[in-house]
Amino acid sequence: MIITATSMPNFELLLGSHYVDGQPKLVFLDWQTADYPALQSKSLAKLAAHYQLAASEIYFIEQNSLSKDNKLHIILLTAIQQLQDYANGKLNTFDLPLDISLGTPFQQRVWRALQAIPYGQTISYAQLAANIGQPTAYRAVANANGKNPFSIIIPCHRVIASGGGLGGYTGGLDKKRYLLGIEAS
C-alpha cells in the first residue's frame, strides 16, 4: 500500500492506494492533523488488517515523488488532481476507482447512497436512512457515515442533522463547513 499526502487550503489529506483483485484502487482518504503523524492514521491499522499487510508493506511517498509510470501512483495523482479541482470549484463529481470492501454490507449501502447526494445539496441523517429503505436506522446511518473511508470523495459532509444543524463530521466541523462552503459558492 502506498500513502501520500496532499494539501487543500488550510488542511492536509492522506491518500492510500493498493492493488485489489489485481487492480489499482484508492483505498482511503483521511484528514491529516498536526498531532496525527502521517503513518499513524486512525485508518491505517484497520486497513493493514483488512488487506493483510505487514507494516513493511505500507509506505509513505512524498507527493512530488509520485511517478506516472506506476499504476498505484497514477491513482494517487489522479485523486490529488480531482481534489484540487474540487477545491477550486471545477469538479462536482469524483471519478476514481474506490475499494469500499473495508465496510460492512450496511456501511457500503450507506456509502453508495451518499454518492447519490447532488453536489451543493444536503440531506438529513433521517432522509439518508429512508433513502436506503431503513427509515428508523438514522443512528446506524450516522455511524456508517462516520466510518466512511473516503471523506470528500464519498460526500458524507452533505449529511446534516434534521434540525438543520451541521451534526458531526469525523474530520471536524471546521472541515465540514469548508467543504459545504466550496459547494455553496
CATH number of 179's domain: 1.10.10.10
Show which of 87, 116, 143 is a domain's final residue.
87
Residue range of the domain that includes 129 = 105-184
> Among all chains, which residue has been given the C-alpha cell 449529511?
159
Full DSSP string of 142-159: HHHHHT-SBTTTS-GGGE
pLDDT category at 151 given cuts 50, 70, 90 is confident
Q: Within this chain, do residues 71 and 113 fall inside the same structural domain, yes or no?
A: no
Same domain, residue pair 32 and 109: no
Which residue is associated with the grid cell 451541521?
166
Last residue of a domain, one of 28, 52, 87: 87
Confidence of residue 69 (pLDDT cuts 50, 70, 90): very high
| Set 15, 27, 129, 156: catalytic member | 156
How many domains does the chain contain in total? Answer: 2
The tens digit of pLDDT for each residue in 96-118 reads: 999 999 999 999 999 999 999 99
Of 12, 63, 10, the closest CA to residue 41 belongs to 12
Locus of grid cell 458531526? 168
Assess whether 156 carries a catalytic annotation.
yes
Judge whether 98 lies within some domain. Answer: no
